[in-house]
Amino acid sequence: MDGLRRHKSMFLLPGLLTLFLIIIFPLLFTIRVSFSGWNVSNPRMNFIGGANYAAMLHDGRFWASITRLILLAGGTVVIQYVIGFGMALLVWREVRGRRFWRVLFLVPMMTTPVVMAAIWQTIFHESLGPVNDLLGTLGLSRIPWLTESGPALAALMIVEVWQWTPFMFLLLLAGLLSLPKEPFMAAAIDGAGTWRTFWKVTFPLMAPVSVAATIIRLIEASKLSDSVYVLTSGGPGSSTETPGYYLYIQGLRDQQTGYSGAMSLTYLVLMIVTLTGVAALLTRAFKLKGDS
């Protein structure tokens, strides 16, 4: 038995080793680094205690980026959910060209985020972009999309929504297609109209899928940084900076390794706590536990 068990562990070893190398080791290393004064002029693993954490507490730019991320992630995921659900409902039942629409809706998701952000940058360009051109044609004033903080945030959200709604759509459509037929037949027999059927049958039945899709998207959105990099580079000023992007600046561009280690750990813990809390809240709100 013991021999067999040892054999089994041998098979697990490559996986465990990889896991250790790409997750456990970097994590432990980051923890150690966060207590060191490692920076561009002093690349040493010394020990400076909690000085990095103390500095972080007073770093307004970091906390502002966290708040901004919550707004960006929460806002875009809600919008993605609403639009994605709507699109899924549109192509759920028999409609003309259903397959065509289903594939078309998925195209944005398949595009590389950086390429897509670059294209959107052109679209939002203040003097050359088609958006302002269109606004001008309609007699509206031009909007400084990428050079003023409010519009820049809005532009970032539009890009996020555009790219990730298809993912939401895909999960929700799969959910809709797997629903049993009987509750809908029962609702028709009980005399429920379209609106009532949606709120009393479709929506509650979709609760598990909705919660799962929302949480998956929130986890993804909490890592938001690539489109920020391409679209606004965190600007104007630092008004569109997300923690991911700010960490990139501090850690990789400015080489403040120790300090960014402290920030990334804090960011990780905050995200785990927040997302676990959100998941628990959503689960409770939809009464998913104890369901048969």
Q: How far is the CB of 278 from other proteins (least distance, A)?
A: 21
CA distance 119 to 131: 12
Please identify, among the stretches 129-137, 228-236, 246-254, 284-292, the one whose residues bind other proteins according to the rule CB under 8 A: 284-292
d(CA 87, CA 181): 20
Q: Which CB, 60 or 290, lies closer to other proteins?
A: 290
Contact range with other proteins by CB under 8 A, out of 43-51, 78-86, 103-111, 202-210: 202-210
Report, in Å, the least distance between residue 193 CB and other proteins.
Answer: 7
Is 287 an interacting residue with respect to other proteins (CB under 8 A)?
A: yes
b/e sequence 220-257, b meaning 16+ C-beta within 10 Å: ebbebbbbbbbbbebeeebebbbbbbbbbbbbeeeebb
Give the range of 138-146, 200-208, 231-239, 263-271 binding other proteins by CB under 8 A. 200-208
Contact partners, residue 265, CB within 8 Å, separation at least 6? 30, 31, 34
Dist. CA 32–CA 36, nearest whole Å: 7
Decide: is 284 part of the binding site for other proteins (CB under 8 A): no
The yes or no reply on residue 15 touching other proteins (CB under 8 A) is no
User: CA-CA distance, 177 to 147, in Å (whole number)?
Assistant: 44
Residues near other proteins (CB under 8 A)? 182-183, 185-193, 196, 200-201, 204-205, 207, 287, 290-292
